[in-house]
A and B are shown apart, each in its own frame.
Chain A
Amino acid sequence: EAGVVQSPRYKIIEKKQPVAFWCNPISGHNTLYWYRQNLGQGPELLIRYENEEAVDDSQLPKDRFSAERLKGVDSTLKIQPAELGDSAVYLCASSQIYGSRGFAEQETQYFGPGTRLLVL
């Protein structure tokens, strides 16, 4: 079974430029997560999708970050414009949630390799 796929693996941009990350979850997984991992810290959730619906985006900086998962499969995360403080690893994860929202048991989240972003 193929794991979570992310691209690009590395990205270097100048501040104020836009950047986009792509994620393809494990086949059949209905839930997709975007995390940001700063150096030496644990992942922090940015946004969670159940199918094509964003059900938790409370920690997404909406002034410059946006995300979409139009067909409930692949997802893109965009930053425009990027700032120096956005340098981090952006991780995508997926899981298969059974049951209705708010009543489903927590299922294992599988992570992709991440995109390492450096903003100069």
Chain B
Amino acid sequence: GENVEQHPSTLSVQEGDSAVIKCTYSDSASNYFPWYKQELGKRPQLIIDIRSNVGEKKDQRIAVTLNKTAKHFSLHITETQPEDSAVYFCAANQGGRSQKLVFGQGTRLTINP
């Protein structure tokens, strides 16, 4: 089955700096990689996703890159703001066409003002 490793587990950056979170996956058939943001006590919310037919996707201050050969993908947040503080989860779908998402362990991001 799919195994998703996420690091770092905690990340603290100064407001305005960039933050990068990395994930690796094991299933070469995986083709969908979403990122979710979860604030304390709230539901996970999709912030960006990428499919295996592209290598990079950007949405304002958020970008995701995918390296299929190396089986890793990364979330990049630029010009960080205090409201970016949350736990971020990466995920990969198991078996390509499967609808099962396997999540990483999460990264607690803290933006220091």
Which chain A residue shows the least CB distance to B45?
A: A111
Q: Mark B48-61, 1 if CB is under 8 A from A, else 0.
A: 01010000000000
Number of residue pairs A-B, CB distance < 8 angstroms:
61
Determine how close the nearest CB of chain B comes to the CB of A114; give it in whole angstroms: 6
**Cα A111 to Cα B47 with chains together (Å):** 13
Interface of B, helix, strand, loop or mixed by DSSP:
strand
- B105 and A42 contact, CB distance less than 8 A: yes
Interfacial chain A residues near B36, Cβ < 8 Å: 111
- B46: chain A residues at CB < 8 Å are 108-110
Are A106 and B43 in contact, CB atoms less than 8 angstroms apart? no
Interface residues, chain A, CB within 8 Å of chain B?
3-4, 31, 40-45, 48, 56, 91, 95, 97, 102-114
Residue positions of B touching A, CB distance < 8 A: 4, 6, 31-32, 34, 36, 42-46, 49, 51, 89, 91, 93, 97-106
Residues in A with CB closer than 8 Å to B4 are 42
* Dominant secondary structure at the A interface: loop
Measured between beta carbons, the chain B residues less than 8 angstroms from A105 are 32, 97
Query: Contact between B44 and A91 (Cβ–Cβ < 8 Å)?
Result: yes
> Taking A91-B44, A114-B43 as contacts, is the C-beta distance between A102 and B97 under 8 angstroms?
yes
**Is the pair B43, A104 in contact by a Cβ cutoff of 8 Å?**
no
Within the complex, which residue of B49, B99, B105, B106 is in contact with A97, where a contact is CB–CB below 8 Å? B99
C-alpha gap A114/B43 in the complex (Å): 7
Q: Which of A43, A48, A108, A110 contacts B49 (CB 8 A)?
A: A108
With most chain A CB atoms within 10 A of its CB, the pick from B51, B89, B99 is B99
Write the nearest CB–CB distance from B53 to chain A, whole angstroms: 11
